[in-house]
Structure 1
Amino acid sequence: MSNAAGSSASAAASQNVQERRLMGLSAFDRHQSLMKNAIKYYRAQLPPEQQTVKTDYDVLKEQYRFVRTAEDDSTDSWDVRMARRYYAKLFKEYAVADLSRYRESKVGLRWRTEREVVIGKGQFVCGAKGCDERRALASYEVNFAYKEAGERKQALVKVRVCPKHAMQLNHKQNQQLIKKRKQELQKERLEHKKRQKHSQKTSGSKSDHSSTSDDSPESH
């Protein structure tokens, strides 16, 4: 009995030490430590890929959904199971963005691959495709509208990017704000001109009235 209690206390103490060690690490170092353990202890448990006449690309093209639903997973066919495994590897915490056509207000989004999750792409590294910036990253929630399997869908996704790509990600909104501000400034200028004209007209009327009074003959 005492041995069991001692083992339990020892395990609890060990867990506390590990928790304190993890909490003492920086966010990125903690991420690396957790990823290392996940790969070491859980990767071997992943089920082996089954052989099939179809290629993985063929199956993914047929079965992949940006955001899967219970209805998508309602069948037990190998095609769907394979798509589900692939979907599970995409780690839907942050998305990777393709901003190459941002001027057209077109943004491509996808979930991160396992390798990208491990190296911190989209979390500790800018989530814009091809960018390795690690400084001054900020997270944005993007309402992503897309068409899939002939159906229009929407998903609220997170994108974490550097200042440069934040401007590109929000290009449409920024342009709208600039346009709105220009309209406001134009309106302010027009109102200012109207006030000036009104002021000049009022001032001119007072001046004319004063001159008329001064020029009138004195009464005897």
Structure 2
Amino acid sequence: MSSEYDVLKDAHRFLRDDTSEQPRSWAEHVARNYESGLFREFAVCDLKHFKSGNLALRWRTEDEVLSGAGQDTCGNTRCKRHSAEAGSRKRPELKTLELPFAYTERDEQFSALVKVVLCESCCRKLMWKRNHDKAQAATLDDVNHHPSDESRASSRLHISHRPPGRDARSASPRRRDDSSRHRRRPSRSPRRRDTHQD
């Protein structure tokens, strides 16, 4: 025999069409009764797995609405600024975000825009995966497709294979040992030519 909680877990919908007809089964009736007590203006979230890009959302309960949790305080249930007591000392700067939330119910994909109120540090957690992926893509893009990297690599090879004694300012190679082996021939220009012969 299943408990009421198990029945509720099976029949619950994150968003239920209000125009549909009356509940057909007891399980659907229990789920609709529970859902009628939820307030769907703002959701509260759990950012435990923010590095993988996954988050859990649920609607606020009546107690949370009355205390202002998730609207006047941070909507992350794991944040120290989530409880109303923490919010009464010094109110943190909060941001209202509208998130595209994709989820699966009964092997069907759904998506909805959900409003969440988060503090600055929880906003950074929420955007961490996206920013991390962008930074990695930019780094890979720079390494793989940056045209100056290839020219730098080829110039490094050219410099490293330059024969010893090559002057970096001139393109012609100079050999250090050439001066001892070969004597420089006299110039054959008319100015330097000797006029008398021996």
What SS does the corresponding residue of 1:110 show, helix, strand or coil?
Answer: strand
Q: Deviations over 1:91-128 (max 9, x none)?
A: 21221111112223221111111111122211110000
Match of 2:116 in 1: 159
Counterpart CA distance in 2 for 1:197 and 1:207 is 19
Whichever residue aligns with residue 52 of structure 2, its letter is E
Distance 1:62 1:200, change over 3 A: closer
Q: Report the alpha carbon displacement of residue 185 of structure 1 after superposing the two structures with TM.
A: 4.8
The aligned residue for residue 145 of structure 1 is 102
CA 208–119 in structure 1, closer or farther in 2 if over 3 Å, else same: same
Structure of higher CA gyration radius: 2
Report what 2:40 is aligned to.
92
CA 195–58 in structure 1, closer or farther in 2 if over 3 Å, else same: closer
Residue 170 of structure 2 corresponds to which residue in structure 1? 207
Deviations 1:129-151 (A, max 9, x none): 13242412222232222221232
Mapped partners of 1:149, 1:200: distance in 2: 60
Name the residue aligned to 1:74.
21
Q: Does the CA-based 8 Å contact 1:125-1:132 persist in structure 2? A: no
Root mean square deviation of aligned Cα: 3.6
SS of 2:96's partner is strand
The residue type equivalent to 1:69 in the other structure is D
Alpha-carbon distance in 1 for matches of 2:186, 2:50: 73
Any conservation in 2 of the 1:94–1:159 contact (CA below 8 Å)?
A: yes
Which stretch of the first structure deviates more once superposed, 181-190 or 103-112? Answer: 181-190
Corresponding position of 2:189:
219
| Distance in 1 of aligned mates of 2:78 and 2:157 | 60
Q: Does 1:111 align with 2:59?
A: yes
Q: Do structure 1's residue 65 and structure 2's residue 43 form an aligned pair?
A: no
User: Aligned equivalents of 2:104 and 2:5: distance in 1?
Assistant: 19
Quickly say closer, same or farther: Cα 1:192–1:59, change in 2 above 3 A.
closer
Taking only the aligned residue pairs, the percentage that are identical comes to 33
What is aligned with 2:74?
126
Judged with a 3 Å threshold, the aligned counterparts in structure 2 of structure 1 residues 217 and 111 are, in CA distance, closer, same or farther, namely farther
Q: In structure 2, what is the equivalent of residue 176 of structure 1? A: 133
Residue identity opposite 2:79 in structure 1: C
How far 1:208 moved relative to its partner? Answer: 2.1
Structure 1 length as normaliser, TM-score? 0.58
The total of aligned residue pairs comes to 161
Question: 1:219 is matched by which residue type in structure 2?
Answer: S
Helix, strand or coil at the partner of 1:100: coil
Contact 2:48 2:78 survives alignment (8 Å)? no
8 Å contact kept, 2:97–2:116 = yes
Following the alignment from structure 1 to structure 2, what is the Cα–Cα distance between the partners of residues 102 and 199?
A: 42
What TM-score results when the alignment is normalised by the length of structure 2? 0.63
* In 2, Cα distance between equivalents of 1:193 and 1:103: 34
**Greater share of helix residues, 1 or 2?**
1
Cα distance 1:189–1:63, how it changes in 2: closer, same or farther (>3 A)?
closer
